[in-house]
């Protein structure tokens, strides 16, 4: 009986045009669409028939979905049907060339998209459901803001998004003409652009094509192989979603064609409604150019001179800058705070530029201002990396980024001022006071807590990639805080870290990173192990041979441990005043963290438990290195790099730094390493000096 009822229900569904597989419609403007479209948020149909998803209001979202669900899957075998759509759109930014954020063609199990957020989420998802398989969301985004959190390739691209705003595939916005020549398209130009999205279920190929004309190019702008069967439900809703952020754009759809039985109709752009005033403005421009050319020329010259004078000292504002969480300071404000970046307020000089002490005029708060030099290799991408997500990190053992500023070639970061500077100065600078053991142990525990927060306590996994003494800052009470996130990388939990360029500091750089190019939480633990030994011994992880016979600290400590002379490695400046049990525990933990085998190292959660005394350390310590020859990394390569600089002075020298370009070459050449100075810990030491 139940089988007969299911059969009858299936026949009813197939006979109902709403649930028919062969959904096919074309809208030349949206005046006559009636109840066939559902609008949410700011979306509305204007009098001339144009569908406007958002207006030029900040943090807005708009949805427009075909009201009836569309049958996308075969009931028998569960495969997805082929589908095709075309539509004409325009994005008109509030400010020229500053788009925010973009829109997407979406196929969703719901036309409400409840809980979705504007800004970088395009009105599709929110931070909590990013990447969830249960979303059953497919979208093709037309993005006008480069969001580094989602790994966007630029601020003018198309992308395929499945259950997430991290695109599975993306390409810069462009099309191929009939000569197969690639031509760029500016999505936020305000001009009408046509898009075609075609999915072939027999080959599992998705083609996305765009063009500023009524003719569909033969070569797609983006081609992506994907089986959508696991993504789609039997019935889904089709439509559009758009959003704005701190900068806004109006997103318009002029016409829309959708077909489940063949290719969607290509739209004739000349037959579609146009934006009010656009044609009129073209006529006015033509008249002005032809009859008032001389007057316009003088006018433009006058305006140019005026603008040049006005913007000479003005701050540069781009779209991505207004999407960043921390406070954006004006250049004038920071210049006043540092008294014109006076040399008397200089805290340090490094590879990325200079750090100045400043006092904010209004709040009287002391800050450290890192002014990145124009010649620095830390460009806008690295600058963004340090502020876009780092500004949202909150922990008592992390140096807080208060804000930032960009003015032409000047990039500036504003941090909490750490009155006692960096840990390395206390360990290696004879002019500094000597930290007693209690202070050192407290600093170690603080840094461990900060790293645990980065690895497990935040919404993403944060790999610092440059843990070392010069990046540990001390406040007025000598509490340790981890700073300098210029090399940090963010990963979703459970994801596999991607291969990237090898950056870091020799002596702190885990051996597997140089082989695989993948930085992990375990590689941070390796660096923390070097820091532990550094704090106990008062020696750098790698000392030039002119200073000490033992060039690699972990080798020297291991030999002392194996020979039962563990207390002999303790910093002589402590004059024998320390807790022996704590010292032995820290040395043992440092050797465990320094193991060449990543899987043999403890996690930061285990490290914190050891330091807090919640659990005891294992009785046996595995040799930290893979050989007995004292070669860090076990392959001899590190000694080659160190030997290059054995005659270098170590005064004010932070450490040897190495950087490798992306690729498979894991060798360390003369051009890939350099000795560098870092008088202040706010300066990223993972780059070369000039």
Quick one: pLDDT at residue 354?
84
Element (DSSP H or E) covering residue 176? strand 174-176
337 vs 567: CA distance, rounded Å: 47
Asked if the domains at 324-416 and 423-677 fall in one CATH topology, the answer is: no
Secondary structure, 3-state, 610-657: HHHCCCCCCCCCCCCCCCCCCCCCCCCHHHHHHHHCCCCCCCCEEEEE
CA dist., res. 583 & res. 19, Å (int): 73
Task: State which fold the 423-677 domain adopts.
Answer: Transferase(Phosphotransferase); domain 1 (1.10.510)
State the catalytic residue, choosing from 155, 161, 466, 484: 466
Q: Which CATH number fits domain 324-416: 3.40.50.2020, 3.40.1160.10, 3.30.200.20, 1.10.510.10?
A: 3.30.200.20
Helix (H) or strand (E) holding 405: strand 401-407
Find all residues with CB under 8 Å of 583, minimum gap 6, and list them.
437, 536, 566, 567, 570
Length, in residues, of the chain: 690
Mean pLDDT of each 10-residue bin along the chain, 690 residues long:
46 42 84 91 94 90 95 88 96 80 96 90 91 95 87 92 95 93 93 97 95 95 95 96 88 96 92 73 44 61 57 50 64 90 82 82 87 58 60 85 77 88 88 89 96 89 90 92 83 68 75 85 94 94 60 88 92 93 95 92 94 86 57 35 26 34 31 30 33
Q: What is the pLDDT of residue 583?
A: 95
Q: Is position 370 annotated in a ligand binding site?
A: yes
**Are the C-beta atoms of residues 249 and 94 closer than 8 Å to each other?**
yes
Fold of 23-269: Jelly Rolls (2.60.120)
What's the pLDDT at 606? 95
Q: Is-contact 661 501, C-beta < 8 A? A: yes
In the three-class reduction of DSSP (H, G, I as helix; E, B as strand; rest coil), residue 142 is classed as strand
Structure tokens at 120: 């970088």
Q: Is 379 helix (H, G, I), strand (E, B) or coil?
A: coil
CA distance 372 to 585: 40
What are the angstrom distances between the C-alpha of 655 and each of 109, 428, 549? 55, 12, 17
For residues 229 and 606, give the distance between their C-alpha atoms in angstroms, rounded to a whole number: 42
- Residues 591 and 569: their CA atoms lie apart, in Å, by 13
**What's the predicted TM-score (pTM) here?**
0.49
User: What pairs with residue 139 in β-bridges?
Assistant: 106, 161
Between β-strands 401-407 and 327-328, what pairing exists: parallel, antiparallel or unpaired? parallel
Pairing state between β 249-259 and 51-54: antiparallel
Q: What was the pLDDT predicted at 122?
A: 95
What's the first-to-final CA gap in the chain, in angstroms? Answer: 83
What's the count of helices (H) and strands (E) in the chain, helices before strands?
13, 31
Residue ranges per domain, the chain?
23-269, 324-416, 423-677
- Encoding tokens for residue 619? 């009785």
| Nearest-angstrom CA–CA distance, 185 and 650 | 53
Widest distance between CA atoms in the chain: 95
Q: What is the pLDDT of residue 601?
A: 93
Cα 657 from Cα 686, distance rounded (Å):
6
User: 251, 54 in Cβ contact below 8 A?
Assistant: yes
Reply yes or no on whether 466 is catalytic: yes
Give Cα 383 distance to the centre of its chain.
Answer: 11
Closest Cα partner for 378 from 410, 425, 348?
A: 410
């Amino acid at each position: 009986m139940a089988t007969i009822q299911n059969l009858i229900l299936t026949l009813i569904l197939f006979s109902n045009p709403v649930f028919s597989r062969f959904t096919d419609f074309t809208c030349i403007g949206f005046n006559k669409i009636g109840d066939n479209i559902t609008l949410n948020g700011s979306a509305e149909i204007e009098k001339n028939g144009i569908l406007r998803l958002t207006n030029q209001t900040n943090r807005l979202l708009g949805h427009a979905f075909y009201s009836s669900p569309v049958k996308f899957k075969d009931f028998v075998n569960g495969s997805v049907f082929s589908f095709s759509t075309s539509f004409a759109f325009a994005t008109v930014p509030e400010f020229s060339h500053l788009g925010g954020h973009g829109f997407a063609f979406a196929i969703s199990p719901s036309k409400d998209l409840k809980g979705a957020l504007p800004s970088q989420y395009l009105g599709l998802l929110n931070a909590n459901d990013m990447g969830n398989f249960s979303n059953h969301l497919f979208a093709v985004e037309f993005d006008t803001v480069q969001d580094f959190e989602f790994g966007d390739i630029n601020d003018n691209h198309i992308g395929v998004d499945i259950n997430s705003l991290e695109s599975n595939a993306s390409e810069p916005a462009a099309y191929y003409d009939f000569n197969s020549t690639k031509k760029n398209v500016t999505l936020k130009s305000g001009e009408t652009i046509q898009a075609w999205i075609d999915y072939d279920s027999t080959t599992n190929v998705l083609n996305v094509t765009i063009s500023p004309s009524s003719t569909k190019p033969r070569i797609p702008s983006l081609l992506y192989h994907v089986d959508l069967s696991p993504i789609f439900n039997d019935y889904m809703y089709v439509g559009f979603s758009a959003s704005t952020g701190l900068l806004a754009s109006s997103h318009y759809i002029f016409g829309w064609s959708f077909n489940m039985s063949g290719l969607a109709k290509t739209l004739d752009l000349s037959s579609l409604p146009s934006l009010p005033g656009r044609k009129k403005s073209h006529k006015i421009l033509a008249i002005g150019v032809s009859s008032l050319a001389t007057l316009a020329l003088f006018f433009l010259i006058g305006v140019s001179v005026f603008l040049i004078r006005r913007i000479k000292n003005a701050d540069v504002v781009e779209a991505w800058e207004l999407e960043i969480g921390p406070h954006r300071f004006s250049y004038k404000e920071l210049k006043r705070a540092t008294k014109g970046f006076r040399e008397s307020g200089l805290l340090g000089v490094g590879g990325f530029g200079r750090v100045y002490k400043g006092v904010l005029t209004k709040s009287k708060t002391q800050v450290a201002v890192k002014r990145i030099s124009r010649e620095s290799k830390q460009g806008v991408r690295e600058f963004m990396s340090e502020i876009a997500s780092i500004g949202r990190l909150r922990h008592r053992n992390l140096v807080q980024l208060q804000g930032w500023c960009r003015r032409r070639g000047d990039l500036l970061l504003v941090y909490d001022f750490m009155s006692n500077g960096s840990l390395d100065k206390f360990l290696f600078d004879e002019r500094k006071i000597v930290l007693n053991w209690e202070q050192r142990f407290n600093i170690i525990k603080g840094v461990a807590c900060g790293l645990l927060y980065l690895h497990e306590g935040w919404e993403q996994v944060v790999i610092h990639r440059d843990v070392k003494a010069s990046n540990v800052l001390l406040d007025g009470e000598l509490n340790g805080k981890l700073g300098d996130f210029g090399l940090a990388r963010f990963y979703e939990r459970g994801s596999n870290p991607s291969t990237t360029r090898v950056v870091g500091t020799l002596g702190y750089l885990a051996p597997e990173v140089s082989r695989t190019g993948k930085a992990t939480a375990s590689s941070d633990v390796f660096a923390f192990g070097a820091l532990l030994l550094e704090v106990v011994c008062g020696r750098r992880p790698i000392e030039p041979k002119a200073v000490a016979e033992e060039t690699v600290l972990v080798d020297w400590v291991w030999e002392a441990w194996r020979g039962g002379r563990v207390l002999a490695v303790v910093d002589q400046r402590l004059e024998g005043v320390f807790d022996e049990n704590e010292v032995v525990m820290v040395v043992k933990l440092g050797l465990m963290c320094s193991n060449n085998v990543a899987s043999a190292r403890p996690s930061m959660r285990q490290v914190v438990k050891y330091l807090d005394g919640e659990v005891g350390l294992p009785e046996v310590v595995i040799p930290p290195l893979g050989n007995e020859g004292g070669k860090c990394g076990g392959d001899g390569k590190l000694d080659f790099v160190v030997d290059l600089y054995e005659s270098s002075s170590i005064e004010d020298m932070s450490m040897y730094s190495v950087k490798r370009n992306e690729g498979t070459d894991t060798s360390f050449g003369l051009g890939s390493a350099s000795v560098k100075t870092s008088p202040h810990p706010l300066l990223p030491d993972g780059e070369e000096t000039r």
